[in-house]
């Protein structure tokens, strides 16, 4: 639903037998949190917000001990299809504000909104689509996850080797019911590993959609007696879980990837040239770095039009490049912070009119040591990624340096 007023939401709740409203947001690691309120509290939530114990949520504990409040965004209303149809449950994502209604400085959803305003002032908007991988594991007699994959299928396998097809089907139908349109779904390379891709949307909606998607996958998996894992490397001897981010820039309805090559190249170069600076925000777990260089996960800061093992893939279809794909992130990100940082890097590239280096079309398996020695690499440990972020002039001299530094400090205290 979109462009809904507060009165629209209140009427919808009354007319559709809604008994619980979940006010949702994310912690620093992108884990969904929520408070449920009853319908009679809804107007107060829109007008004043709902207080929560922020010191108990990673990323929201503040040294000044300020009260924080959740204010729902009416455009994010969704019925939760897996909850009862009688006495329905709906969910809205929230902005985090102070007692006077001002945005909380370290609310990453608000940081993304501010970044999107910068993009608008620069004359463009961005659309993002996602390809997300996850594993399904069997559970024990108490319902706890094991390390035994749900099946032993491989890439694009079908039943009976692929035992997850009915679960993926249920996930896709549930997402569609919630307004998130899947494009493809299939078994991935690892045993019990799956991938679902969904349609591009504006960046804020896509960030919200990733949180919804993960929640849907986890709930549908649990309902089928299995456990869904988005961990970057849940099995040491199997491919990791990546999150591939598909992007295209627009001016109105005009795709700038095809109509303005210099602009598009500068945007992509801005991201590529700052990958060591921003990797911590795209890969925030220790095991995120164990995935790099495995299977087709990228390791070098390079791009290609055809090669799936490159960090950046810029596909050409009929001689045109209408999007590009960033392949290093994983799904354990905070999607609002990660999206904002990617856009900020792209904005810096546009400002400086940066150029892409030559493409590297060699498959990683055939990349010789002599040639790879000259290639810049992604950070290969979280400690290295922290060092890159802390020493980054792009970050320390930016308008968002306080937001970034707080994130860095919290990550350092938890690794």
pLDDT tens per residue across span 93-140: 999 999 999 999 999 999 999 999 999 999 999 999 999 999 999 999
Classify residue 338 by burial, with Cβ atoms within 10 Å: 0-12, 13-18, 19+: buried
Question: Is pLDDT above 70 for 362?
Answer: yes
Q: Is the pLDDT score of 291 beyond 70?
A: yes
Res 50: pLDDT:
97
Q: What is the pLDDT of residues 25-70, one digit of tens each?
A: 999 999 999 999 999 999 999 999 999 998 899 888 765 668 999 9
Q: In the predicted model, what is the mean pLDDT of the chain?
A: 93
Mean pLDDT (whole number) for 188-197: 97
Q: Please report the pLDDT score of residue 225 as a whole number.
A: 97
Per-residue pLDDT reduced to its tens digit, 166-185: 999 999 999 999 999 999 99
Within the chain, all domains assigned CATH 3.10.20.70 are found at 6-104
Q: Above pLDDT 90, what percent of the chain?
A: 84
Report whether CATH 3.10.20.70 matches the domain 6-104.
yes
Whether the per-residue pLDDT at 304 is higher than 60: the answer is yes
Outline which parts of the chain fall under CATH 3.30.590.10. 115-414
Note the CATH number of domain 115-414: 3.30.590.10
Q: What's the whole-number mean pLDDT along residues 245-258?
A: 95
Chain centre to alpha carbon of residue 406: 20
Question: Which has the closest alpha carbon to 349: 268, 258, 257, 255?
Answer: 268
Lowest-confidence range among 2-6, 75-79, 188-192? 2-6
- pLDDT on residue 412: 94
Burial class (CB in 10 A: 0-12, 13-18, 19+), 310: buried
> Would the pLDDT of 373 be above 80?
no
User: Which of 352, 358, 122, 357 lies closest to 256, judged by CA?
Assistant: 122
Q: What pLDDT is attached to residue 295?
A: 80
The model's confidence at residue 3, banded by pLDDT at 50, 70 and 90, is: confident
| Total count of residues recorded for the chain | 415
Q: What was the pLDDT predicted at 395?
A: 98
Average of per-residue pLDDT across 329-348: 97
Q: What pLDDT was estimated at residue 63?
A: 54
Measured in degrees and rounded to the nearest 5, phi and psi for residue 375 equal -95, 140
């Amino acid at each position: 639903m979109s462009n809904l007023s507060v009165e629209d939401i209140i009427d919808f709740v009354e007319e559709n037998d809604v008994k619980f409203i979940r006010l949702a947001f994310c912690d620093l690691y992108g884990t969904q949190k929520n408070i449920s309120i009853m319908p009679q509290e809804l107007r107060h939530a829109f007008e004043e917000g709902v207080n929560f114990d922020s010191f108990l949520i990673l990323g929201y504990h503040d040294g000044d001990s300020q009260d924080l409040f959740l204010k729902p965004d009416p455009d994010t209303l969704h019925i939760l299809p897996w909850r009862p149809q009688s006495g329905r449950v709906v969910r809205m994502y929230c902005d985090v504000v102070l007692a006077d209604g001002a945005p909380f400085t370290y609310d990453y959803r608000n940081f993304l909104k501010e970044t999107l305003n910068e993009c608008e002032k620069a004359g463009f908007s961005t659309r993002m689509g996602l390809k997300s991988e996850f594993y399904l594991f069997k559970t024990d007699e108490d319902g706890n996850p094991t390390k035994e994959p749900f099946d032993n299928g491989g890439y694009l396998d079908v039943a009976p080797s692929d035992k997850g097809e009915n679960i993926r089907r249920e996930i896709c139908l549930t997402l569609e019911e919630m307004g998130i349109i899947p494009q493809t779904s299939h078994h991935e390379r690892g045993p019990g590993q799956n991938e679902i891709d969904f349609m591009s949307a504006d960046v804020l909606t896509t960030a919200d959609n990733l949180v919804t998607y993960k929640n849907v996958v986890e709930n549908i998996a649990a309902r089928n007696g299995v456990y869904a894992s988005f961990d970057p490397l849940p099995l040491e001897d199997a491919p990791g879980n990546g999150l591939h981010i598909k992007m295209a820039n627009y001016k109105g309805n005009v795709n700038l990837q095809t109509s303005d090559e210099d602009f598009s190249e500068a945007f992509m170069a801005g991201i590529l040239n700052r990958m060591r600076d921003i990797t911590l925000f795209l890969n925030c777990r220790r095991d995120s770095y164990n995935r790099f260089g495995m299977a087709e996960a990228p390791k070098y800061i390079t791009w290609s039009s055809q090669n799936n093992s490159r960090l950046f893939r810029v596909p050409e279809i009929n001689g045109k490049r209408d999007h590009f794909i960033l392949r290093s992130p994983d799904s354990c990100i905070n999607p609002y912070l990660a999206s904002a940082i990617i856009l900020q890097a792209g904005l810096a590239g546009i400002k400086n009119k940066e150029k892409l280096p030559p493409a590297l079309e060699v498959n990683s398996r055939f990349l010789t040591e002599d040639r790879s020695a000259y290639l810049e690499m992604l950070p290969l440990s979280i400690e290295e990624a922290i060092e890159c972020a802390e020493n980054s002039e792009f970050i320390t001299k930016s308008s968002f340096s306080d937001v970034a530094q707080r994130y860095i400090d919290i990550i350092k205290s938890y690794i």
